[in-house]
Amino acid sequence: NLFVGASSGAETENRWAKLNMIERRAPHQVGKEIAKGINNGNIKFFDKHLSMFPVDLMYGFYTREKANNRLDVAIVEASAITEDGGVIPGASVGASPEIVQMADKIIIEVNTAAPSFEGLHDITMTDLPPRRKPYLIMAPEDRVGTPHIPIDPERVVAIVESDYPDQTQPNAPEDETSRAIARNLIEFLKYEVSKGRLPENLLPLQSGIGNIANAVIGGLAGGGADFKNLKVWTEVLQDSFLDLFDSGNLDFATATSIRFSPDGFKRFYDNWERYYPKL
């Protein structure tokens, strides 16, 4: 049974699926082999909105058959570990805090392929009703949590060192259709500003992934958009956000993960001091 905050990467999931290692999978997958296993009924797959999965996991929806209603093992990546045992995630957080909360045993992979992300994250642990508290966030740059995931050291059964960067693919190039969609959206935003329905720096932006989203964010980075002091609250940051930062138009961005192309990750790490204060 494999539960991941999103996808664990096609190279992993395809290998596991091909070797018949996966019985159940949720809430999201990437890869041709695992898709084949799901479609032929060999793998039981449950599709769930990624924003709802962590809380549903805490409710025990995925572990009802377990005597203690918990996961057996959590595997979590760390870019560093604090002196008091806190895990500082790498390029993504996703459902890691909830998975750690629900697991009997924890394996920590310390990945030295990337710099320490200490100070970049804002981690909150999930409380269930009636103990749930509001998130007192009014702007993307607000912080309400801690820079690390607190870990019970008694549940840590292994710490494994790795030196393996995220395996991503180059972005699909923009085509004329995606550029046209971007132009239309930017014109719409300009019109809303002109009518006083949006402020001149817009409201916090949310973007998807893919060539259309890249084209839209790339359009905001271009000289024709004329939007300044933008802020972003989104799920995933991809390469075009680096262009938006470099244009000077983007002041701050918050996301659950960064998913750059290989060239994008190199650019991000090479200019770490420039981007770090704005994330």
Q: Alpha helices of 40-142 — where are they, by DSSP H?
A: 53-59, 96-102
**Which residues are tagged catalytic?**
235
Nearest in space to 85 (alpha carbons), one of 34, 154, 144 = 154
Burial of residue 86 (CB within 10 Å: 0-12, 13-18, 19+) is: middle
Burial 243-258 (b: 16+ CB within 10 A, else e): bbbebebbebbbbbbb
Run of H or E residues at 95 = none
Query: Quick one: angle between helices 32-39 and 10-18, nearest 10?
Result: 40
Q: Report yes or no: 260 and 97 within 8 Å, Cβ to Cβ.
A: no
